[in-house]
Structure 1
Amino acid sequence: MKYMIGIDIGTTSTKSVIYDEEGNYLNKHNVEYPMTTSEIGVAEENPAEIFDAVLFTVKKVIREANAKPEQIKLISFSSAMHSLIAMDKDNNPLTECITWADNRASKYADDIKENKDGLEIYKRTGTPIHPMSPLSKIYWLKNEHPEIFKETKYWIDIKSYVFYQLFNEYVMDHSIGSATGMMNLKTLSWDKDVMNLLGIDDSQLPELVSTTHIMKNISKKYAEFMGISENTPVIVGASDGVLSNLGVNSYKKGEVAVTIGTSGAIRTIIDQPKTDEKGRIFCYVLTEDHYCIGGPVNNGGVVLRWLRDELLASEVETAKRLGVDSYDVLTKIASRVKPGANGLIFHPYLAGERAPLWNANAKGSFFGLTLTHKKEHMIRAALEGVLLNLYTVYLALIEVMGSSPEQIKATGGFAKSEVWRQMMADIFDTSVEVPESYESSCLGACVLGLKAIGEIDSFNVLDNMVGNTYKHEPNKDNVDVYQSLIPIFINLSRKLSEEYDLISDFQKKHS
């Protein structure tokens, strides 16, 4: 028996998943860590805690599988994008791990966008100009914290930090590199004009490598701790988003995957890098022959959690006593209301928004509220709002692709809800299928690993690894309702752009 281990370094936790050689899920272990949000805009984590989580999760799944070091065929990595750590000359962190959710670079992202040829930078790098990107974060640190900027010897991400601990060298895969806003998509190298803008050079950034690059000479003490051989192939891997598409077998032309966890994303794979004249979607690398285009949204399951905690306290208590999942209660309440929630629209921008607005100041709102609306209408409108927002990203994606997909593959926690799955089919007016894939980013990492070690030539092996569960077709009557709401939803969010900034300023002053 041989085993594969996929490691996913996430924003709130790291998980390791162990599979057999055929890609069958065997076990996983997850370690959570806190995020510091002590001030408005701050979203940081301790890199040492994340590294420990990698070590302990690998050790745990190997032990539980009773696997010997020589039975581990490969280890491959997935990681959240857009993190930044400043390292000093002694390779010690000068900052915490600044995550994608950190918003302190907002003013400087606006400056790049408006005064520093931001659209052209986006077209070359594929990362929309936004405070999430390391590009904006470094520019912010240069201007607001010059003492840190001057002391920084290396600018790295969390996966580069983990690899430095394990291998004593700084590397970054093309997938994570393409999410920094600093890597040129055509040359797969650090963009010279961006280097000049930031006042840094290539020597301060990790070496860019393929997503199938195999790391060698792992630290003996860490190999022994985890229970692996020093010769175990460790594949650098890619970002969680592109690997999720791979892990649900959605990498062929015209296939679209929608994931909704805490946040959400919609993605499709193409064979050449492509960007959007309006700067609405990202383009990230999977391999040199596979590029992922799409858009991330901040507001997915986080909206459900807000609804549950703030509007459904009594219902949640009852659900707990009955042993019923509180989210099932929420979607059941929503199902009492007709599609369109009697003309109530919810803009789900509770955490600002990336695609399609790329406006960190965007705020949530109900529109169309009347005395006839009840709690269940607000819940239904909020569930619809998350999907209507994703649909606007989908429209931008179709515009860039030049064609409409025939099917959407839906993944993430929301896919457990029949109500929400059908709602997606109706809003997108497209067939929705739920793949049967366990921990898609980790599985995608392992399949990428198989390609790296030369066991497979293509990703067709996924046809045997990923099954299907639910399938939903659009209901024509519901489609008609949503098609009449969509223009109102889109126009409102565009018209409120100035008001988002004004209310954001007000909240900062009076919170």
Structure 2
Amino acid sequence: MKYVIGVDLGTSAVKVLLMNQQGQVCGEVSKSYPLIQEKSGYTEQNPEEWVEKTVEALQELTSHFTGSPSEIEGISFSGQMHGLVLLDNHDKVLRNAILWNDTRTTKQCQDIYELVGEERLLSITKNPALEGFTLPKILWVKENEPSIYEQAKMFLLPKDYLRYRLTGQIHSDYSDAAGTLLLNVAEKEWSTEVCQAVGVDIHLCPPLLESHGFVGTITAEISKATGLPEATKVFAGGADNACGAIGSGILAEGKTLCSIGTSGVVLSYEESNSRDFKGKVHYFNHGKEDAFYTMGVTLAAGYSLSWFKDTFAEKENFSEMLQGLADIPIGANGLLFTPYIVGERTPHADALIRGSFIGMDASHKRIDFARAVIEGITFSLNESIEIFRESGKMIDTIISIGGGAKNEAWLQIQADIFNAKIQKLSSEQGPGIGAAMLAAYGCGWYSSLNECSDVFTQVVKTYEPIEENVQKYKELFQLYKMVYSQTKELNSQLNRFRK
């Protein structure tokens, strides 16, 4: 039997999956690492933590593997998007990585619009200038840490740095590069025009290749540390959302994905780059060659629930905290939550907005608040679905993965709020499976990713929307959408009181 490994470098942990040729998960290891949040709006990580924890995870995976290590043929990666890793002339990290959910770069986003032009930026990069993207972070370092910027030889995205440390080879792929605001998405090349306009040397940008592209093999040092053979083939991999799409079978028109991890996304496959959403949703290169996807983002989806657990149920696991969730009526007994606890992305690109509980009274119990958090996260994702539907896209079936696919009650809530069939897969580890599929395809096991998907993805249960619930949620959704406009100015004024 042959095997491949998918490495999913997330925001809170790295997850490593071992999969065989039959598409079965044969081993799984997760290792967590901390966020560094020195100020409100600042979110960083030490890239060395990614390497250390990934090596630990791979070593643990191989130590429990009962077959021969030589049967593990390939490895590929999924990674958190947009993060900035700066390397010096010796390929050493110059500072902590600035992550996708860091919101310090509002000024730099405005600078980009002034230098490039909002319409021109959209025509080249297919995306608006938002705080989470990589280019604003580069400009922030240039402006605020000039000595570090002057030493920078190249920038890398998180999973690209990890792959470099495992192989000694520096590259990026198109799906991850599409989230930098430096890629010409249609032409699949770094944009000289954008680089020149903002004063960034294009040589800071790494070489590009396809997500299934062969990079090399692991180094002798990594082989010794992990137990993997030096002959293990390494493939580029892709952005976490692109890999989530691959691992969920979102490989043809009409396919839609809801992925609830730290952030939450609603993602839809696009055959071409010709659709125009006028920047309301993201438009990225897919991990599948010459394909694209559109995507709406809730910045704090699973993170809102994790925050709630850590704050109000620290000693309980998620199952314990959510016990009785299905018994709480729709609307959480008159309680609404907006998941803007780190700002928001879609449809409100707003770094200052913050979350709210609306309608609290003395009768509410903790489980009411938990239900409100889950409903609020799902309402936020529904705003992206609303944008897709208003553009003419048909969305009647959605594959759900991530933390939101682990709870039966939440899956039914998704079906009712989205007013669509929700399909649960045999594994909700979409990005990790997508990374493994890229390795399997790269190793030549299959003639296409679509053929690979037929083996690696399997629907195990479908949740149908309940009409009575759909109507109640439509009413609540209108109230939910009012909260943003009615709290926007309050949150702007409160910002000066935050650390």
**Under a length normalisation based on structure 1, what TM-score does the superposition of the two structures give?**
0.90
**Residues 468, 328 of structure 1: CA spacing in aligned structure 2 closer, same or farther, 3 A cutoff?**
farther
Letter in 1 for 2:304: V
Counterpart of 1:335 in 2: which secondary structure? helix
Per-residue deviation at 1:236?
0.7
Deviation string for 1:301-353 (max 9, x for gaps)?
22223333445x5xx87xx6xxxx55444351x43443234543322211211
CA distance in 2, matches of 1:352, 1:38: 17
Matches within 5 A, 1:196-275: 196-216=196-216, 218-273=218-273
Alignment equivalent of 1:453, drawn from 421, 443, 455: 443
Per-residue deviation at 1:42?
2.2
* 1:441 match: 431
Counterpart of 2:394 in 1: which secondary structure? coil
Per-residue deviation at 1:195?
0.4
**Residues 185, 114 of structure 1: CA spacing in aligned structure 2 closer, same or farther, 3 A cutoff?**
same
Per-residue deviation at 1:86?
1.5
CA distance in 2, matches of 1:337, 1:219: 54
1:489 paired with 2:480, answer yes
Letter in 1 for 2:303: V
Matches within 5 A, 1:241-390: 241-273=241-273, 276-285=276-285, 286-311=287-312, 313=313, 325-330=317-322, 332=324, 334-369=325-360, 376-390=367-381
Per-residue deviation at 1:260?
1.4
8 Å contact from structure 2 (residues 75, 233) kept in 1: yes
* 1:85 match: 85
CA distance in 2, matches of 1:194, 1:96: 25
Counterpart of 1:308 in 2: which secondary structure? helix
Letter in 1 for 2:118: G
Letter in 1 for 2:423: E
8 Å contact from structure 1 (residues 258, 267) kept in 2: yes
Letter in 2 for 1:306: W
CA distance in 2, matches of 1:93, 1:257: 35
Per-residue deviation at 1:369?
4.7
Counterpart of 2:236 in 1: which secondary structure? strand
8 Å contact from structure 1 (residues 235, 452) kept in 2: yes
Deviation string for 1:338-374 (max 9, x for gaps)?
3234543322211211222121111111334567766
Deviation string for 1:50-91 (max 9, x for gaps)?
122222322321231144343122111111111111212222
Per-residue deviation at 1:248?
2.1
**Residues 342, 50 of structure 1: CA spacing in aligned structure 2 closer, same or farther, 3 A cutoff?**
closer
8 Å contact from structure 1 (residues 68, 228) kept in 2: no
1:133 paired with 2:133, answer yes
Alignment equivalent of 1:429, drawn from 419, 422, 429: 419
* 1:157 match: 157
Matches within 5 A, 1:6-25: 6-25=6-25
Deviation string for 1:407-426 (max 9, x for gaps)?
11111222222221111111
8 Å contact from structure 1 (residues 270, 291) kept in 2: yes
**Residues 474, 438 of structure 1: CA spacing in aligned structure 2 closer, same or farther, 3 A cutoff?**
closer
8 Å contact from structure 1 (residues 182, 190) kept in 2: yes
Q: Which moved more, 1:104-113 or 1:428-437?
A: 104-113
Counterpart of 2:373 in 1: which secondary structure? helix
Deviation string for 1:463-508 (max 9, x for gaps)?
333223332211111111121222332243145434332222x333
**Residues 309, 63 of structure 1: CA spacing in aligned structure 2 closer, same or farther, 3 A cutoff?**
closer
**Residues 337, 226 of structure 1: CA spacing in aligned structure 2 closer, same or farther, 3 A cutoff?**
closer
Alignment equivalent of 2:408, drawn from 414, 418, 439: 418
CA distance in 2, matches of 1:175, 1:20: 25
Letter in 2 for 1:454: G
CA distance in 1, matches of 2:16, 2:57: 5
* 2:172 match: 172
CA distance in 1, matches of 2:79, 2:318: 29
Counterpart of 2:399 in 1: which secondary structure? strand
Gaps of 5+ in 2: none
CA distance in 2, matches of 1:326, 1:94: 37
8 Å contact from structure 2 (residues 127, 181) kept in 1: yes
Per-residue deviation at 1:266?
1.1
Letter in 1 for 2:252: K
CA distance in 1, matches of 2:366, 2:215: 54
**Residues 187, 478 of structure 1: CA spacing in aligned structure 2 closer, same or farther, 3 A cutoff?**
same
